[in-house]
Structure 1
Amino acid sequence: MLRDLYFSFRRFFRIWEYFLRNVRLGRKVYIEPRVFLSNTVIGDYSYIGHNSVIDKAEIGNYCSIAAFVQIGGMEHSHWWWSTSPRLSSFGIKNKTIIGHDVWIGSKVSLREGIRIGNGAVIGSNSVVLKDVEPYTIVAGVPAKVIRKRFDNEMIEALVKTEYYKSHPKEAKLKLDELDQKFRLKEN
């Protein structure tokens, strides 16, 4: 009985809501509970994990953003007499650009105003302070390049397909064709 009461209580207090202010969502975007989105555009078929905060960002198609991610927001004027936004009018607030098919792991912080290239992967618990090149894996505090996901020939072929502009069925076919081409080449 106590167990049933506990789970009923837990279910009752699970909040399935999010906060959206000046947001434009693409087709079939999935947003988990307790997400704050402000001044943001999200492309088609992307998802945002729970407890994430995204301010002034442009996110491409097919992006996977895990839970507890912080993107953008205002930076305080540490070079001025006061860091308080109440006293200083120098707060910076630039748009953060995230390309298509980017995977951002949980508990990642992205500085405002940076660019994340298409196909990039950002490891969990990373703090990204600089732009990330397309199809690059970065991780750490501050985030550093681990390696490229593919060689240059594969990246060139992948970019030519522009699969991220397609419906999922068509995109999957393009990627399967690419997979066959490079699998055959390896054998």
Structure 2
Amino acid sequence: MLKKLRNEFLRKVIYRKYQIGSGFYCGIRVRIWARQQVTIGKNFYIGRDSFIESDVIIGDNVIWANRVALVGRYDHHYQQIGVPIRLALQIRDKNYKWLGLNNVTIIEDDVWVGYGTTIMSGVTIKTGSIIAAGSVVTKDVEPFSIYAGVPAKKIKNRFNSIEDLKEHLDLIR
């Protein structure tokens, strides 16, 4: 009961400026921030020590393991002439006008992201996909696929046959 109350408090009070659907579960030490938009569907599970630090749209029934990070590609203006990177403008600054302002990450429905994965902003992870633990996602991910590695590459389809995929789709609709 206390966990449900905590998750509703996080959803409706702490993260109220974002759109977060019902069934939200949030592990401890999670941070969520975006310059413009965080939209999360129903039944999202975000494991402990995970971060969202970029604009994102997340579908329904998505699970993130512990220590998953969604990070921006251009969070610091590393080409700002005459300024060390540490002191350069960053995407959190109101007057930041460099790259990455329109990067929105899209994570569609029924996605599982494994432990310690890093997702770079601006990618799309299609419906039904799995990202293996420790991967770094730098490019779009095909639907109902399993990706792994640094950078993440497709290693196989989620289902062994088209028939299994069709049966799965029929049952979840």
TM-score bracket for the superposition, by shorter chain length: 0.7 to 0.9
* Partner deviation per Cα, 1:82-138 (whole Å, 9 max, x = no partner): 652259631313110001110001111111010001110001111100000001101
TM-score for the superposition, normalised by structure 2: 0.74
| Greater alpha carbon shift after TM alignment, 87-96 vs 45-54 | 87-96
State the distance in 1 between where 2:70 and 2:51 align.
Answer: 6
Name stretches of at least 5 consecutive residues in structure 1 with no aligned partner: 1-15, 167-187
CA RMSD across the alignment: 2.6
State the distance in 1 between where 2:62 and 2:140 align.
Answer: 17
* Partner deviation per Cα, 1:31-62 (whole Å, 9 max, x = no partner): 11111112311111120001111131111111
1:44 to 32, 42, 45: 42
Equivalent pairs counted in the alignment come to 148
Q: Which has the larger radius of gyration?
A: 1
The aligned amino acid for 1:121 is: I
The aligned amino acid for 1:137 is: I
CA deviation after TM superposition for structure 1 residue 23, in Å? 1.5
Structure-2 change in CA distance of 1:118 and 1:24 (3 Å): same
The aligned amino acid for 2:137 is: V
2:69 paired residue number: 70
Q: Which has the higher helix share?
A: 1
Extract structure 1 runs of 4+ deviating beyond 4 A: 16-19, 77-80
Between the aligned residues of both structures, percent identity stands at 33
State the distance in 2 between where 1:40 and 1:97 align.
Answer: 10
1:154 paired residue number: 164
Structure having greater relative contact order (Cα 8 Å, sep ≥ 6): 2
> What is the DSSP-based 3-state SS (H/G/I as helix, E as strand, rest coil) of the residue aligned with 1:22?
coil
1:92 paired residue number: 100
Structure-2 change in CA distance of 1:134 and 1:34 (3 Å): same
| Greater alpha carbon shift after TM alignment, 90-99 vs 75-84 | 75-84
1:53 paired residue number: 51
2:4 paired residue number: none
> What is the DSSP-based 3-state SS (H/G/I as helix, E as strand, rest coil) of the residue aligned with 2:15?
strand
TM-score for the superposition, normalised by structure 1: 0.69
CA deviation after TM superposition for structure 1 residue 156, in Å? 4.0
